[in-house]
Amino acid sequence: MLEGINKIGDLEWEVPIGYVPNMRVSGRFFLSRTLAETLEEGAVRQLANVATLPGIVNHSLAMPDIHWGYGFPIGGVAAFDMTEGVISPGGVGFDINCGVRLITTPLTEADLAGKKRELIERLFTAVPTGVGAKSTLRVSNKELSEVMVDGARWAVERGLGTDADLVRCEGEGAMPGADPDAVSAKARQRGVPQIGTLGAGNHFLEVQVAREIVDPEAAKAFKITEGQVCFMVHCGSRGLGHQVATDHLRTLESALAKYQIQIPDRQLACAPIDSPEGRAYYGGMVCAANYAWANRQVIMHETRTVFADLFGIDYDEMRLIYDVAHNVAKFERHDVNGTSMEVCVHRKGATRAFGPGAPGIPHEYAAVGQPVIIPGSMGTSSYLLHGTTTAMQKTFGSTCHGSGRVLSRSKAKKEVSGKELREHLAGEGILVRAHSDSALAEEAPEVYKPSREVVRVVHEAGLSKIVARLEPLGVIKG
């Protein structure tokens, strides 16, 4: 482990006050010895930098997929006092409400026999992907305002899903407090043509099989069974979210002097939560988050339609288990040193993992805790977990979001041939479809930490518990 860090539990580490100047609280992160081998000093410094921000409550936290980002580390979680604290786009990231949803189908792997390639090709056609992808939906500027306020409900009201879907989304697929006036004309211009598009980078639409049920009782509550074919959607708020982040980061950076906030990294630009600049960012961020929920709803609808048509199954037989956000800031009530208080929780590359009985999770999951969905890297397992009381106590109800990169994109491209990778995965029965082989190389499994190790750490640390492991059968890569 890096110097200056204290071990305080089997999988828990402390970054003491003083690791960087002006820390107000200590840092805490969760990591195994294996994952510690790839821990970057820059990521720990970023975790410590977050601890210098005004109004931070308890600790600056990071999940076991921690890695070096900008502003907050990726995998970072921090809560801020609503009066003394700040809100920062650097704690959310450019891809506001990047998130994941998981859907079950009534099919088994055998049902896909002979049709898998056709399925993947049809999904690739139905869901626009890659750089420059444009939507087949026509949305007016007025409708875009409705998307930004209503989120997934906007899509359901257009017939792109059912009311039951909404109940099974974090926050029912929309956050309150959207302020369309805080979204610039530029952001709108980017958002209009992209609704229902997957985007690029590590975003994907994946056909999977539930290979292993680890917790039968929770699996029963989530209605997932071994051998069941599922699909997973991983994407965010596209250009609209990127522009909202860019615009407000700029405003907040200029306002630092006004609020006399000293920060060690300009990417941590922030403002008091209840200031004009802070409120504007929150209102704009909510608009982008809601756009992302609508986006995933549309993509799920298109995917269901392809499955229904190709396999003769009913649309309603494809049940959304849950939809989670992993780049967002939310106002939540948490128990802090024995007192219930409202805080602004930033999760940047971290997933909400509310435990049993926590408010805001679907009634049908109340006894188990909310579903937590952790996408694997391309060709590796994804996981379904449930939230825990331990997460509520230790991490403001948060857990990891993915695997975390260990190899840069440029090295990946040098070391991995996209074509060979595609052929190798096909040999394992995993069909991959993308606009270019070069884009595949960047997302090769070996450039990420093993998702099983990241998930093992959150499971053993009690931040969430494994319910099921899913293996990929086919991937539409963004």
Partner 1 sequence: MSFEELDHTADVLMRVRGATLGELFADAGRAMFHVMYGPCEDRGIERQISLDAENLESLLIDYLSELLFITEVENTVFCTFDVDIQGTRLIAALRGEPFDPARHSAGSLVKGISYFGLEIVKEEEAYVVEIIFDI
- Is the CB of residue 83 less than 8 Å from the CB of residue 94? no
Beta carbon of residue 101, minimum distance to partner 1 (angstroms, whole number): 20
Which of 242, 301 has the CB closer to partner 1? Answer: 242
Q: Is 435 in the site for partner 1 (CB under 8 A)?
A: yes
Beta carbon of residue 239, minimum distance to partner 1 (angstroms, whole number): 5
Residues 435 and 457: their CA atoms lie apart, in Å, by: 35
Stretch that binds partner 1, among 21-29, 248-256, 360-368, 391-399 (CB under 8 A): 248-256
Residue 312, judged by CB atoms within 10 A of its CB (0-12, 13-18, 19+), counts as exposed
Q: Is 2 in the site for partner 1 (CB under 8 A)?
A: no
Stretch that binds partner 1, among 10-18, 101-109, 331-339, 433-441 (CB under 8 A): 433-441
Beta carbon of residue 49, minimum distance to partner 1 (angstroms, whole number): 10
95 to 114, contacts with partner 1 by CB under 8 A? 95
171: left (phi over 0), alpha (psi -120 to 50) or beta: left
Residues 20 and 43: their CA atoms lie apart, in Å, by: 12
Residues 3 and 181: their CA atoms lie apart, in Å, by: 47
Which of 335, 391, 326, 272 has the alpha carbon at shortest distance from 76? 326
Q: Is 71 in the site for partner 1 (CB under 8 A)?
A: yes
Helices (H) and strands (E) in the chain, counts: 16, 19
Residues 115 and 326: their CA atoms lie apart, in Å, by: 33
Q: Quick one: which of 27, 93, 171, 379 contacts partner 1 (CB under 8 A)? A: 93
Residue with tokens 């786009």: 89
Residues 332 and 359: their CA atoms lie apart, in Å, by: 10
Which of 382, 366, 363 has the alpha carbon at shortest distance from 374? 382
Q: Is 239 in the site for partner 1 (CB under 8 A)?
A: yes
Q: Is 121 in the site for partner 1 (CB under 8 A)?
A: no
Beta carbon of residue 249, minimum distance to partner 1 (angstroms, whole number): 7
Token pair listed for 328: 């967002």
266 to 325, contacts with partner 1 by CB under 8 A? 266-267, 269
DSSP SS3 for 60: strand
DSSP string covering 69-103, please? EESEEEEEEEEEETTT-EE-GGGT-SSTT-EEEEE
Q: Is 375 in the site for partner 1 (CB under 8 A)?
A: no
Which of 20, 91, 21, 82 has the alpha carbon at shortest distance from 57? 82
Stretch that binds partner 1, among 207-215, 285-293, 336-344, 402-410 (CB under 8 A): 402-410
Return the beta strands (E) in 236-349 as ranges.
Answer: 271-272, 319-325, 327-336, 339-348
Q: Is 376 in the site for partner 1 (CB under 8 A)?
A: no
First-residue to last-residue Cα distance in the chain: 35
Q: Is 328 in the site for partner 1 (CB under 8 A)?
A: no
Stretch that binds partner 1, among 14-22, 107-115, 272-280, 406-414 (CB under 8 A): 406-414
Which of 44, 33, 27, 40 has the alpha carbon at shortest distance from 10? 33
Stretch that binds partner 1, among 26-34, 69-77, 289-297, 367-375 (CB under 8 A): 69-77
Which of 98, 149 has the CB closer to partner 1? Answer: 98
Q: Which of 234, 401, 424, 435 is catalytic?
A: 401
Q: Is 411 in the site for partner 1 (CB under 8 A)?
A: yes
Q: Is 34 in the site for partner 1 (CB under 8 A)?
A: no
Q: Quick one: which of 36, 54, 68, 424 contacts partner 1 (CB under 8 A)? A: 68
Q: Is 94 in the site for partner 1 (CB under 8 A)?
A: yes
Instruction: Tell me how many residues contact partner 1 (CB under 8 A).
Output: 44
Q: Quick one: which of 76, 85, 99, 130 contacts partner 1 (CB under 8 A)? A: 130
Beta carbon of residue 69, minimum distance to partner 1 (angstroms, whole number): 5
- Is the CB of residue 301 less than 8 Å from the CB of residue 161? yes
Phi, psi of 45, deg, nearest 5: -60, -40
Q: Is 136 in the site for partner 1 (CB under 8 A)?
A: no
Stretch that binds partner 1, among 151-159, 170-178, 184-192, 333-341 (CB under 8 A): 184-192
Beta carbon of residue 460, minimum distance to partner 1 (angstroms, whole number): 25
- Is the CB of residue 153 less than 8 Å from the CB of residue 162? no
Active site residue 401: yes
Q: Report, as residue numbers or ranges, the catalytic residues.
A: 401
Which residues contact partner 1 (rule: CB under 8 A)? 40, 67-71, 74, 93-95, 130-132, 186, 189-190, 199-201, 239, 242-243, 245-246, 249-250, 253-254, 265-267, 269, 405-411, 435-436, 438-439, 442
